[in-house]
Structure 1
Amino acid sequence: MELDHIFICVTEKAPEGDLLTAFGLTEGSANTHPGQGTANRRFFFHNAFIELLYLNDPQEAGSELTRPTMLLERLTQCGAGVSPFGVCFRPEAGKKRGPAPFKSWDYHPQYLPETLRVEVGESPLSEPMWFYLGFAARPDQAAPERAQPLAHATGFREITRVRVTSPNRETPSDAAIQATTVSGFEMTVGDENLLEIGFDHEREGKHHDFRPHLPLVFRW
């Protein structure tokens, strides 16, 4: 599998996205998720994208359908015991498409066609939400009607490294173990939840820290 996208739980309407546009990223289209009670702002690169996810309907997020995802808890409970991140994988390009290579359960949200599913990893709130989209593809391979802006003033093209730091010291879930087998993906233990994203193999040796507004560091 390979990285499809990463989400960060943010506040209502995701004003944190303005930090990314001010930095020089071009914003793509936003989504709402009917029946799930969430919405987002998104920033696309050639091989993956960043999603800022926020709560827009607590009743839907707490519904019988959505409750098992624990998205409501991630979006409303701050602290070291709850990871604000979600990491989505897809089948590796050129490889046969199959089920998620980690222990998971099938989630059929209302906003997807009945034939499609999200495979959600079995993991605690202290870890990122792990999930797998067997039908997903690279943003730069999207059909014309679904194409997103990929050019940024920063010149960033691809996400080539992701490091998730977490205070979680429990035995990692099967999904977390499988995630660390993906090229360029790392997990470390630290004092806080932090997401570091490296672009284009970090050739320039530069970085930008979005804390305290976002638990996010860019490296390029």
Structure 2
Amino acid sequence: MGAPFVLDHVFVFARPGGPEATALAALELTDGGGKTHLGQGTANRCFFFQNAFLELIWVHDEQEARSAAIATTGLWERSQYRQTGACPFGICLRAAGPENSAPPFETWGYRPPYVPTGSEIPVAVAASFAEPLLFLQRPRTSEGPAAAPARESENHANGIRAIRKMHITLTDGATLTPAVREVERLGIVTFTQGPEPLMELVFDEATQGRTADLRPDLPLLLRW
């Protein structure tokens, strides 16, 4: 039996406007477009793969991002990670089987203005903003699922198809809570600690032997 939850997408905080998307496009990755998260104060650009997607996210409205309804997620602190020491990453999981599968970790209900009334996003209870924001794809509603990306946005000129491995470096001293350890146990990500945050994504078993290090602009390392 496979894992009850699999990777849906990951995010990493970028600079306002997401200029780092240009560097990803230069690697022959297809830009899948973006949107503004109503009332959350953030916007994004997304790069879709066959099994998951990579989201560049940034704060475009500080007042919204720091409002009472949003502040518990630490999105503002995460966007300012170089100054605050917060973790700039997020990991979203989706159920691999029936959508009523019990969450793999303790959660609280996040209700940003952009989700339908009566709906919520299950977010892991965290010890601090020094660990990634862990959350689950929100349950389907009677309004239907979110629009799927166009199939052509999953086609990349560099031949990349799917995210196969993910490794995250958390800053020294970050607490590894039960939720973080459970995501690691599921085989979705491995964690270590180091002087600065870094997300490493491995595509297709890295058969091409190529590497792209986007630091210092983005704490992201790609291998394919």
Is TM > 0.5 for Structure 1 vs Structure 2? yes
Query: Is the 8 Å Cα contact of residues 5 and 89 (structure 1) preserved in structure 2?
Result: yes
From 87, 98, 102, the equivalent of 1:83 is 87
Structure 1 runs of 4+ with >6 Å offset: none
The answer to which of 166-175 and 187-196 deviates more is: 166-175
Matched, 1:162 2:195: no
Deviation at 1:218, TM superposition (A): 0.7
Matched, 1:183 2:179: no
Deviation at 1:166, TM superposition (A): 1.2
Q: Which residue of 1 aligns with 2:113?
A: 110
**Cα distance change of structure 1 residues 11 and 75 upon mapping to structure 2, 3 Å threshold:** same
TM-score by length of structure 1 reads 0.90
* Number of aligned residues: 213
Q: Which residue of 2 aligns with 1:39?
A: 43
Query: Is the 8 Å Cα contact of residues 100 and 134 (structure 1) preserved in structure 2?
Result: no
Q: Which residue of 1 aligns with 2:133?
A: 129
Partner SS, residue 69 of structure 1: coil
Q: Which residue of 2 aligns with 1:204?
A: 208
Q: Percent of counterpart pairs with the same letter?
A: 38
Query: Is the 8 Å Cα contact of residues 10 and 54 (structure 2) preserved in structure 1?
Result: yes
From 103, 119, 143, the equivalent of 1:100 is 103
Deviation at 1:217, TM superposition (A): 0.8
Q: Which ranges of structure 2 fall in alignment gaps of 5 or more residues? A: none
The one-letter amino acid of 1:102's match is F
The answer to which of 26-35 and 110-119 deviates more is: 110-119
Q: Please give the alpha-carbon distance, in whole angstroms, between the structure 1 residues aligned to 2:164 and 2:121.
A: 24
The one-letter amino acid of 2:103's match is A
Deviation at 1:187, TM superposition (A): 0.8
Partner SS, residue 102 of structure 1: coil
Partner SS, residue 78 of structure 1: helix
RMSD between aligned residues = 1.9
Q: Please give the alpha-carbon distance, in whole angstroms, between the structure 2 residues aligned to 1:182 and 1:80.
A: 29
Deviation at 1:96, TM superposition (A): 5.0
Q: Please give the alpha-carbon distance, in whole angstroms, between the structure 1 residues aligned to 2:109 and 2:172.
A: 25
Q: Please give the alpha-carbon distance, in whole angstroms, between the structure 2 residues aligned to 1:58 and 1:21.
A: 27
The one-letter amino acid of 1:44's match is F
